[in-house]
Amino acid sequence: MSAVAHAYRYAHASATLAEAAGPRLSLATSSPQADGGAAHPYFFEGRLLQPRLCAEMLSAVHLVVGSRFFTPANSVARAIALADPVVTAGGELLRFEGFSACCSCYVRVDLLPASYDGQVVGKGTTNVDFNAPMRAALARLRDADGLSLSVGRDALALQSGGHEVVERKVALPLRWLRGMVEVQSYLAGMRHRFELKGLEALRFFRTLPKASTSRTPLWVVPSPKGPFTTTRPHPQGVRVTDTSRLRVLEALLPKAQSLAVHADEAQQASAWVLNFPGARLTLALSAEPWRGFSGEGQALRALMRMDDERAVAQVRAQLNWQAVIDTAELAAKLGVAASSVEDSLRILGASGLVGFDLAARSEGAEGRYFHRVLPFDLSSVEDMHPRLADARELMARGAVHIAKASPIDAQVTSGGTVHSVRETDGELRCTCPWFAKYQGERGPCKHVLAVEATAASTNATEGDR
């Protein structure tokens, strides 16, 4: 299994500290190795207004990060150190996000200004230490105890001079890293399907099987009497395979105001957003647990269009840890088309530079991007996409021949075989085994990518004449 060595380096271990005013949760943040030992990021200091709820939400993040919902046949799951959750501070929000080991589940907790009494004093993204003693302390926490939160290096530790450095080296699977950037493209393509009140959602969850390893997909369908499940595809339903992946939400439902359910048009992924006063939790699931987000390829088309480097560079220059990026406003400011800004944001998302928030709705938009930089070395993000590299190689050696421009009719020579790529009803279809197996549901094949890019390049050249 391909992996990238990564070191989590903390000035001290995260802990709950007993103080006269009540317990304080001190979350240590990771310092990048390249910083030469500089001070750790200091993001937040304040008091949480719903201690027990926040503790349960943070525990849910760790539960997902520590879970594996699928182990490939004829193999044993490799024991790896857990990837500590990522925290982003900016725009008065704190966001904690992570991925399951199998890459089929993504989780994010957003703490909004109404959830705390304090100040986000820093802007940035890093890892936070989630150790066993701290998780055990969170499980015992009660609202009556109160809870203060520090995200960053403890100010008292800065003055003591005798702090301990905690370092854990882990091998992050490339699939995990690909999943973290790929899931943003899926979220951006989803639309709101239905919404349930918190108690209504809880009653429904209690009807689901306690454990599910069945490969039979279920459709969750809303109705006036409450949602129900069926094994038959339903136009108003949302597709889910292995409902055990939803269990992380059940303990939080009694306190939730609502559960909003989103899905993409092809029913290849779903997102379940729990809304609380001042906070929310987003859980995104791939179509099946054996299909990690890492292999879906939804961002490949955007990455192939990186030739418009000027637009991408312009959009990237405007990123400043915004909690919400207004596409129309940014397009007007830069004097470019809104579609160009959307493409640029999709590219930046696939590069780990922005995330997508389904709950950040506005007129004419289902959700919005937000700025954050994943605290990993993503300089070779394109190398994480084999189909992208293969498509570029096909173009470089002149393997693409376009016989007809509209509708497109092309041939691609690959591996000693000539594959036909034809446009049918506005969609490119290929004769290769990949397309025959997935029918475009897991992103385009390398031949379609190469033809699209070649056609776009040809059109641009002819337009300049």
Q: Residues 266-281: pLDDT tens digits?
A: 888 999 999 999 999 9
What local confidence, expressed as pLDDT, does residue 156 receive? Answer: 30
- Give dist(CA 43, CA 152) in Å, integer: 6
pTM for the whole structure: 0.82
Quickly state the pLDDT bin for 46 (edges 50, 70, 90).
confident
Contact 347/302 with Cβ under 8 angstroms?
A: yes
Q: Residues 53-80: pLDDT tens digits?
A: 999 999 999 889 888 887 655 444 454 4
Residue type, 397: R
Bridge partners of 279? 111, 276
Q: Residues 200-240: pLDDT tens digits?
A: 999 999 988 766 556 788 999 999 988 999 999 999 999 99
- Residue 427 tokens, joined: 């969609």
Average pLDDT, the chain: 81
- CATH code for the structural domain at 300-382: 1.10.10.10
- CATH code for the structural domain at 182-294: 3.10.150
- Give dist(CA 273, CA 259) in Å, integer: 6
Most confident of 39-48, 178-187, 212-221, 317-326: 317-326
Q: What is the mean pLDDT of residues 435-454?
A: 86
Q: Which of 9-13, 115-119, 201-205, 298-302 has the lowest average pLDDT?
A: 298-302
Q: For residue 138, report the phi and psi dihedrals to the nearest 5 degrees.
A: -60, -40
Residue type, 52: R
Q: Residues 5-34: pLDDT tens digits?
A: 777 777 778 888 778 778 888 888 876 543
DSSP-based three-state secondary structure for 35: helix
- Give dist(CA 309, CA 313) in Å, integer: 6
Q: Residues 249-260: pLDDT tens digits?
A: 999 999 999 999
Domain spans of the chain, in order of start: 3-95+111-171, 182-294, 300-382, 386-463
